[in-house]
Amino acid sequence: MTTHSSLETLTHQISAMLDMQHAMNSKVHPEWFEQGFQWYRAIWVECAEMLDHYGWKWWKHQQPDMDQVQLELVDIFHFGLSCKIIENSDFQTIATEMASAMQRPALGGDFKETLELLAAHALNTKQFDVASFAGCLEQCGMSADALYRSYVGKNSLNFFRQDHGYKDGTYLKVWNGREDNEYLVDIINRLDSSASDFKDQVYKALEEAYPK
């Protein structure tokens, strides 16, 4: 049973991620809200890509790549948040509703079936099903806190790339022999994700690590 404090924490985390998603979408296109982007389509396409990483072909040996599966789930959450913002501009209401839904995960017989619930909902309703997404998290062993850390990290890195020449091609993706994503993993694992300025700390740590 989830305690009130953990539900409160989850609501706070989702609210923060909604703000970050809106900011990132606005950086890509200032008028993104009016563009009619098909976020639901991005969700089901990502589900199909994720299934290949997890493995579903009975005629060959496949080993689930859970690290890649979890990365794909974070990407889907970006699109899911965007779907929710389009439906309702009141971020606090969205966060409260999403946090409540995440406490009641919808589960298929296994991860593949739960993923299909998520994809089917996107196809049939053109919306994001938080409950089946939460079911995917549960069945692939990813906690809400891990989702938050990974989401904030990826969002911060995306902003950092944009601010350091990603568009004009001057950004360095390899830092002293390691890709920026590798630095990011180290950074988010050593910082306290419950800190109110977690995102700012991630961005500052990226600046400190970036080759001068």
| DSSP annotation of 62 | -
Residues 107 and 139 sit within 8 Å (Cβ to Cβ): yes
Structure tokens at 116: 């299909």
Helix, strand counts (H, E) of the chain:
9, 2
Domain boundary assignment for the chain? 4-142, 147-209
Q: How far is CA 119 from CA 35, 44, 158, in A?
A: 23, 5, 26
What pLDDT tens digit does each residue of the chain (212 aa) get? 344 448 898 999 999 999 999 998 888 777 787 777 889 999 999 999 999 989 989 898 888 888 888 888 999 999 999 999 988 888 999 999 999 999 999 999 999 999 999 999 999 999 999 999 999 999 999 999 999 999 999 899 989 998 999 888 999 999 999 999 889 989 988 998 888 888 899 999 999 999 98
According to DSSP, the residues that pair with 174 across neighbouring strands are 179
Class of domain 4-142: mainly alpha
Q: Which residues contact 180 (CB under 8 A, 6 or more apart)?
A: 157, 160, 161, 173, 174, 206
